[in-house]
Chains A and B, each alone.
Chain A
């Protein structure tokens, strides 16, 4: 059956206008394996402002880490570092059913999170701005690393 499916796929890939028809045809013939792209769970993320999930990472145990931006400094977090427009890092359980913790990160260039390791050479102190998220990654111990760019 997989061979037959590939046959259809290649044929229709050469005729783009027929792709929609192709998808209906495949489902109609009942091939659950390849019609089974299913949403296991889907959750909104955010607060009472304009929010956007900017990056996601998955830990070795399946826990889900997301960093989302919020339109203003949020208060419903467990901890908060830095000031200014807030990003929130939240840890979801692997089934999406619960948020285990939420930590706010303020990425104001004038007052970023503390504990500078001294790698800053100069930057542009006369140009203020807020962060853009580069990515989120999780180490084997479940610690969360966030990288961003801040400043104007």
Chain B
């Protein structure tokens, strides 16, 4: 393991140098800082006795000791010197974690050490090593490597200074992680490391050192009851305030002036703190979306404030992560997580969209952006944004052009996974309103809201909008002291003319074809979820049949899999009578169909929904083409015209059930969860035996088909009963004891999920399983080879008994032909062994 350092030109297109930095063992770089003269300062730790550039100390160290290092490269990447930091204390590890340039040509080093004899200066604020691992901070002369100041900072356990920052004048900020409950605290804003919940729990600390007096101005814990980690500390270039950022799994860290007062993430939130130079806490807040957030680094900005860099997970721009408009990547890109960059200024800034004239333009929706109206103001001629308010107070303005007719949702809270999430809501009592018009006096207010019924302080409204029209909307505080950070979620729902049953489109002609789009459709509360899964993107049509016969409805979704339902029409959606539903996939991807029998004069309601595809299961949609065409009905599609089977063995010609259809009252062979309606691809046969016989009724079909087979008695389709003597072998095979003079109805149907297509059926005499006459005995292996006759494809159990009373399972197997052998072990000491074969039934 080596360090590596590289330098890119300012335009990013040239690698100016790259170099390893390390010896023959493990070497880790922890931090890099570039001086004004271009020299590159690197720090970390090494096990390599031949680490390059060592000047101080001249001698090597024991192999069991790990020292820290500070190396200096010139601007061209050539190593100038290396200084080791550490001692020969047995088995000690000293790791330098962070560098900062001090005043008068000095360098500050922060890190951790288990070396209890690490050199400390006489003015150290903590001169004794206090635990297993202590933090340390050290000031050296860059030119001479002389140690000017050195002190421990630690308690009873393990403490690491992860980051330091210097203002180059009189302040050094430091932060790190700790397991110790007795850190040396000075004017802490949190004086207790919360109760340790597990061995892995760790809190963070922050402190400020007066580099002139070498006294701590403040040092404090920041911890909740779960884990925290530190990203870094920085000193504000404008105010001198100390910023600290990290990550936390806790939801009980102390918050103050919070931008987000709760950890909303399933795991991990960024945590951000700000202290003034006297050590008073100014800000402590969570930051992040609904999953996997954390700051990893931060840097001071020359004009004031800090930049945070980190990670946030699975937001899809609706999970509450505070992104803003007008940045390079305002929306979550993809994958499990994205990085983030966030700039927080040290002062309230003038916001560009404070006035109506300077309103920001919003384009692609949906979007959640974050804004802050703390420094916003009211304008002359601006009216209160909600009835009953005496404002305006701190309003911000946006504009948006509706791409088509539809509905516009606006809220000062976030949406997550399609739901309004009031957890991510405005930090103050907000007011929202929507207008049209060209100038402030005379704007026409279209909608307003002060109270989101689902939120404490947020607001929500929905407004019908017209395509091509521009809408202006404002966010204000409900009172003069209501201002702060807020998420603003904008969502557009395209209007779909036939989204609701009552607005269904009439289809004309005997065989209509049409185009449609359900992408922006929605579900209705009364909609009948026939397959127990409600897809919620249905559009509606009505068609009246001019003939009695078979019709096929085909729907081809361009990039989604449609879901079809056909009903006998009724006055309301809740009174619709199902005729057929679901999908039979055609060979063309995205194309599905259903067959249904029609009667002259009957009107049918058709719903086209999204079953799956580009939009994901349970909500897919898009453009589609559809058609209704007459079909020639197969003779035995109808129960009344079941094909007679005169004798057995009987083997049908291949027959295609693709144009079979559903009859009212037809029995359902489909799996549990789809019991509302049969698949509707049923074909029928009937058989009356002249003699009693054991028969097997089975179907052979393409492997892509999932065929169900049924056997019934009775004369009315609506009151058929499964044959009393039926033994179901599997979905495609039924064995039964046929009685002379009894009429049996034989049926084949489809699961509904698989392709229909050619199939054949057979009715044959059923041969009970039997043993062959030959038994081969292998005394060496102590096995018997049994010859078995049975029905191919049937599962059998081989059972054994020594007394013909107690039967034990010896084997279970699937017959792959009508005759096969199996080897069965036996105990030669047993006096006798009897075998029997038993069919395994579903």
Inter-chain contact A146/B5, CB cutoff 8 Å: yes
Our pick among B10, B192, B326, B341 for the contact of A92 (Cβ within 8 Å) is: B341
- A26–B284 Cα distance when bound, in Å, is 13
Inter-chain contact B4/A147, CB cutoff 8 Å: yes
Contacts A44-B330, A117-B78 given; does A51 touch B28 at CB 8 Å? no
Inter-chain contact B340/A45, CB cutoff 8 Å: yes
Inter-chain contact B343/A41, CB cutoff 8 Å: yes
Contacts A40-B344, A43-B341 given; does A27 touch B427 at CB 8 Å? yes
A4 proximal to B (CB < 8 A): no
- A27–B259 Cα distance when bound, in Å, is 11
Our pick among B255, B283, B327 for the contact of A43 (Cβ within 8 Å) is: B327
B357 proximal to A (CB < 8 A): no
Q: Mark A118-138, 1 if CB is under 8 A from B, else 0.
A: 111111100101010011111
Our pick among A37, A49, A137 for the contact of B259 (Cβ within 8 Å) is: A37
Inter-chain contact B2/A53, CB cutoff 8 Å: no
In the assembled complex, which residues on chain B have CB atoms less than 8 Å from the CB atom of A134? 3, 28-32, 42, 44
In the complex, the chain A residue whose C-beta lies closest to that of B373 is: A38
Inter-chain contact B337/A51, CB cutoff 8 Å: yes
Our pick among B3, B40, B303, B310 for the contact of A148 (Cβ within 8 Å) is: B3
Inter-chain contact A121/B32, CB cutoff 8 Å: no
B257 proximal to A (CB < 8 A): yes
Tell me the chain B residues, 733-778 only, with Cβ under 8 Å from chain A: none
B678 proximal to A (CB < 8 A): no
Inter-chain contact B374/A32, CB cutoff 8 Å: yes
Inter-chain contact A147/B375, CB cutoff 8 Å: no
A107 proximal to B (CB < 8 A): yes
Contacts A40-B345, A53-B339 given; does A121 touch B23 at CB 8 Å? yes
In the assembled complex, which residues on chain A have CB atoms less than 8 Å from the CB atom of B303? 62
In the assembled complex, which residues on chain A have CB atoms less than 8 Å from the CB atom of B18? 81, 112-117
Inter-chain contact A78/B13, CB cutoff 8 Å: yes
- A115–B29 Cα distance when bound, in Å, is 19
Contacts A48-B335, A54-B297, A101-B11 given; does A38 touch B485 at CB 8 Å? yes
B92 CB, min distance to chain A CBs, angstroms: 21
B151 CB, min distance to chain A CBs, angstroms: 24
In the assembled complex, which residues on chain A have CB atoms less than 8 Å from the CB atom of B480? 30
B342 proximal to A (CB < 8 A): yes
Inter-chain contact A115/B20, CB cutoff 8 Å: no
Tell me the chain A residues, 9-66 only, with Cβ under 8 Å from chain B: 9-10, 12-14, 16, 19-20, 22-23, 26-30, 32-58, 60-62, 64, 66
B453 proximal to A (CB < 8 A): no
Inter-chain contact B1/A123, CB cutoff 8 Å: yes
- A46–B340 Cα distance when bound, in Å, is 8
Inter-chain contact B481/A50, CB cutoff 8 Å: no
- A141–B188 Cα distance when bound, in Å, is 40
Inter-chain contact B6/A146, CB cutoff 8 Å: yes
Tell me the chain B residues, 37-87 only, with Cβ under 8 Å from chain A: 38, 40, 42, 44, 48, 50-53, 75, 77-79
In the assembled complex, which residues on chain A have CB atoms less than 8 Å from the CB atom of B75? 139
Interface residues of B (CB under 8 A from A): 1-13, 15-34, 36, 38, 40, 42, 44, 48, 50-53, 75, 77-79, 188-192, 254-259, 261, 274, 278, 280-285, 296-303, 305, 307-312, 321-324, 326-345, 347-349, 370, 372, 374-375, 427-428, 480-481, 483-485
Q: List 9 A-B contacts (CB under 8 A).
A: A44-B323, A54-B296, A54-B297, A56-B307, A61-B302, A89-B12, A101-B12, A135-B30, A145-B34
